Chains A and B, each alone.
Chain A
Amino acid sequence: KAGVTQTPRYLIKTRGQQVTLSCSPISGHRSVSWYQQTPGQGLQFLFEYFSETQRNKGNFPGRFSGRQFSNSRSEMNVSTLELGDSALYLCASSLRVPTEKLFFGSGTQLSVL
């Protein structure tokens, strides 16, 4: 069974641009969560989707948004990029919520210049 797939693997953008990251969960998983990882702030929860509905949201500005499609694939979007948005963005999927186990993808490394 394929794992969580995140695309692209690396991304370079400039300040003010917007970016869309994609996450394909494990087949059959209906929950997708997003986390931001930076050297300064560590791993921080962005949001979680289940059955196309946002269930939970972390403390991030409105520039960060996401959505989930009927096939459970998810995208997150960051508008008006800032230098501080440079990070590894990790997606995790689970079969159900609440859950005992999150499966993480390898992440998308975003660099904002």
Chain B
Amino acid sequence: AQSVTQPDIHITVSEGASLELRCNYSYGATPYLFWYVQSPGQGLQLLLKYFSGDTLVQGIKGFEAEFKRSQSSFNLRKPSVHWSDAAEYFCAVGTKMEYGNKLVFGAGTILRVKS
């Protein structure tokens, strides 16, 4: 069965510092990988996705992620964090079913930004 592990429950970074959120997945086939962000009391917003091709993917809000098959990882990065980036971040693996699709999410990482 598919699974996603986000090892860090909380991360605190200073504004302007770089950020890396870790994500490891378990999936037998080629995964479809996603990063979503959720602000308190809100739904999920897609930051970026990987389906195939270039293993370094660019997303919205200056985020990027790198797919490393050998490490089963899909870490999210941002070179300079802004206070508005404080939120909860979810990594997910998509399973492509015959008639649909579902996402398996990690437990999430809460990002705090200190000024």
Whether A31 sits at the interface, judged by CB under 8 Å, is: yes
Which of A12-20, A60-68, A72-80, A103-111 sits within the interface?
A: A103-111
Give A49 to B42 CA distance when docked, in angstroms. Answer: 23
Q: How far is the CB of B92 from chain A (nearest CB, A)?
A: 8
- Contact between A104 and B97 (Cβ–Cβ < 8 Å)? no
Interface size class of A (residues with CB under 8 A): 20 to 34
- Contact between B43 and A58 (Cβ–Cβ < 8 Å)? no
Main secondary structure of the interface of B (DSSP, over half): strand
Main secondary structure of the interface of A (DSSP, over half): strand
- Contact between A31 and B100 (Cβ–Cβ < 8 Å)? yes
Interface residues of B in 19-58 (CB under 8 A from A): 32, 36, 41-46, 49, 51
Q: Of B43, B49, B108, which contacts A90 at CB under 8 A?
A: B43
Give A99 to B101 CA distance when docked, in angstroms. Answer: 7
- Contact between B51 and A105 (Cβ–Cβ < 8 Å)? no
Whether A11 sits at the interface, judged by CB under 8 Å, is: no
Q: Contacts A90-B44, A105-B43 hold; do A58 and B102 have CB atoms under 8 A apart? A: yes
Question: Residues of B at under 8 Å CB distance from A?
Answer: 32, 36, 41-46, 49, 51, 90, 92, 96-97, 99-108
Question: Residues of A at under 8 Å CB distance from B?
Answer: 4, 31, 33, 35, 42-45, 48, 50, 55-56, 58, 90, 92, 94, 97-107, 109
The 8 closest A-B pairs by CB, nearest first: A104-B43, A55-B100, A43-B105, A104-B44, A55-B99, A97-B100, A45-B102, A98-B101
